[in-house]
Amino acid sequence: MRLQYELANYLVATWRIARPTDKLPTSHGVLDRALEKALPMMAPQFRTALSFVETSIGRLCSELPDILRAAQESYLTSEPNPTYRTADVKIDAAIALDLLDQLAIDLDDAKVFGLELAKRVDEEVKALREARAA
């Protein structure tokens, strides 16, 4: 359980550093698939904590709902709005850096993962748009 909160801190802090003004995608399995693709860049202590399983609506990260809830419980992101597809990141850069300090994550490594995750999210969103257009 503690690991879920640490993962939440890591995920939100790295996203905040990579995309200071962007919201965190929370629907359509976008973040799930992006996380799986960005997994090789993830901090080693978290890499094995995630599992990805097939569900009726696609491949999803089993732990992600718990991680996103942990982020909400710790006031890192906004509470989910039933009609929104994203969550606001509430923390500023200073707090993101502080969270990474507490996790003993190297800042450069955190940036690399954050940017990779953001890139993968972009790819997933693009793929969804293309599927819609088709």
Burial class of residue 92, CB neighbours in 10 A (0-12, 13-18, 19+): exposed
Query: Are the C-beta atoms of 114 and 17 separated by less than 8 Å?
Result: yes
What the block records as the tokens of 120 is 């993968």
From the list 11, 44, 45, 51, which residue makes contact with another protein (rule: CB under 8 A)? Answer: 51
What is the contact mask toward another protein in residues 103 to 132, using x (rule: CB under 8 A)? Answer: --------x---------------xx--xx
37 binds another protein (CB under 8 A): no
Q: Is 28 left (phi over 0), alpha (psi -120 to 50) or beta?
A: left
60 binds another protein (CB under 8 A): yes
Site of tokens 């793929």: 127
70 binds another protein (CB under 8 A): yes
Q: E strands, 1-134, where?
A: 24-25, 52-55, 58-61, 86-87
Closest to another protein by CB, 47 or 101: 101
Count the site residues for another protein by CB under 8 A. Answer: 54
Give contact residues for another protein (rule: CB under 8 A): 1-2, 4-6, 9, 17, 20, 27-29, 33, 51, 53-60, 62, 65-66, 68-70, 72-76, 79-84, 90-95, 97-99, 101, 111, 127-128, 131-132, 134
